[in-house]
Amino acid sequence: MSIRIAVPKEREQHEKRVALTPEVAGKLVQKGFEVWVESGAGEKAYFSDEVYIQAGCKIEKDPKKLLGNGQIVLKIQPISPEEIEFMADSTMLVGFLFAHRHPEQVKRLFDKKITVFPMEKIPRVTRAQSMDALSSQSTVTGYKAVLMAADLSSRFFPMLTTAAGTIRPAKVLVLGAGVAGLQAIATAKRLGAIVEAYDVRPAVKEQVMSLGAKFLEIAVDAEAKGGYARELTPEEKKKEQEMLLEHVAAADVVITTAQIPGRDAPKLLPKEMVLKMKPGSVVIDLAAEGGGNCVLTEPGKMVTIDGIKIYGPLNVPAHLPVHASEMYAKNLFHFLMLLTHDGKSLELDLSDEIIRGTLLQEGGK
């Protein structure tokens, strides 16, 4: 008997993505899965119910019935308490969860013996690159952040030679050279800006420089397990702040991307540092959902102080729902291929580092 996959509509405000696109859903159907999609689940990403039907999916209008009959539920946003109650006991959830922010949902999932695979826990190993949803969505975020900055900036990004004289290129500083930061660097360079970047992990210097940016350095190595960054000591933070002050003041745009898994975002930009920037400058804080890298950031809002704009956008990947959904759906597809056999049986091989590293809880354990 085929495994039944349930894809509910994402109901969070401003969310336009869908967990499965028709193309990927069709591949799962061909693999032997039974795919049920809630009516309207893909409409904000421009995928109609009809296209899902053509791909071999079945459409369900009642979310309670959809989730109650699904053996594997695929989500993007963390599951809501109401959706958990709709799910049948001892089934499976695959999607972003961020357990440290949603302890009540985690407990209820545990009580219902639902096996949970949070997509943010996919290990950063070579075999798992095709499943790495944090990276795929961060790619979207880094790209879109630069377009937001260019839109808000009072200056051109590229150098222009005009009849009215030569216009110098904008200076962009990117803090954090993970996936989002690297994509931001590449996009800013494509737009013609002069780009500098800083990261507490010296190992990323080569990647930054390969994109044409200047890498800012201090004598600190804060790389932690899995390629993430650890929190700096007070002494290291002081060195960092002294170095950054000059470069932030000279920048026309600062894009911050620094986050620590399971912790609040580190504060990189104190008020006095931001106020050293020129009027008309812009700060895009991509860590807003984790509290922000800038002390002046108000998540989801634009703040203007002394002519300096500080914007902390939320859920940036939803601004590009077509490609963000396509990338996420492919991440899910590759992960499901690891968990199942021919779409008919589950194979939770806990000796596999990807399955073991992603699993949060299994059947009440």
Which residues are designated catalytic? Answer: 124, 129, 132, 135, 228
Please give the C-alpha separations between residue 130 and each of 22, 27, 139, 277, 333, in angstroms, as whole numbers.
19, 16, 13, 40, 9
Q: Give the whole-angstrom CA distance, residue 213 versus residue 189.
A: 8
Among 37, 36, 41, smallest CA distance to 10 is for 41
Residue 62: CA count within 13 A, CB half-sphere: 6
Contact yes or no for 286/183 (Cβ under 8 A): no
Encoded tokens for 107: 């407990």
Contact yes or no for 253/284 (Cβ under 8 A): yes
* DSSP string across 198-231: E-S-GGGHHHHHHTTPEEE--S---B-GGGPBPP
Residue with tokens 């997509």: 119
Rounded to the nearest angstrom, the gap between the alpha carbon of residue 66 and the centroid of all alpha carbons in its chain is 27
Q: What is the largest CA-CA distance in the chain?
A: 72
- From the number of C-beta atoms within 10 Å of its C-beta (0-12, 13-18, 19+), residue 184 rates as buried
Q: Which residue type sits at 182?
A: L
Q: Give the whole-angstrom CA distance, residue 293 versus residue 284.
A: 10
CB atoms within 10 A of CB 223: 15
Q: Is the CA virtual torsion 103, 256, 142, 322 positive or negative?
A: positive
